[in-house]
Structure 1
Amino acid sequence: MGVRSIVGINVMRIAVSMCMAMTLLMSIILIVSMAVFIFVIMLVVMATLMPMVIVMFVSMILLMIMGVSVPVSLLTFVLMVMVVMRDHRDFLDIPVRMHDP
């Protein structure tokens, strides 16, 4: 009986520490992906489409190297692509608006 309660306490302690570690890991992943996301948006403002594709692949590889799971890196990649496409549509519309009287 006593041994079982000690094992239960240890299992609970391990579970709590794993939950804390996972929460910490997810917050780090979130911070990193947000930083990369902001960096990419800044680059979108500065760059054209082709360098952006290279930058997106490099950042996705970096995210995967830093230990981010593949779905998260793919999700950030998809979000980057969506942002790039939306921003570039806006860029294509800007000269038309400028030429309008």
Structure 2
Amino acid sequence: MSDITREQVEHLGRLARIALTDEEVASLATELSAIVDAIATISEVVGPDVPATSHPVPLANVTRPDVEGETLTLEQALSGAPDHDGERFRVSAILGEEQ
């Protein structure tokens, strides 16, 4: 059994900038030790003939064909804009800079 020490948990907490109570440190040390042991057990079973997987069930994206459809003309797109220069939307500066 691997033993994750209180000092290691406190160090990880500092790295993650998480304030941990004494009870949380003790609990996490036990839980992290159990996780490390479980991973070690799995690593012993896995041989070179077992392919690595990130998901037990294959994932596939559900996509549709990219078909060009009707688009707005420049005039239609700018018609609802509160301000434009004839080719582009005009917006106020967002960084506090004057235009």
Q: TM class by shorter-chain length?
A: 0.3 to 0.5
Higher helix share: 1
Using the size of structure 2 for normalisation, the TM-score is 0.34
Q: What is the TM-score when the length of structure 1 is the normalising length?
A: 0.34
Q: Report 1 or 2 for greater relative contact order, CA contacts < 8 Å, sequence distance ≥ 6.
A: 1
CA radius of gyration, larger in = 2
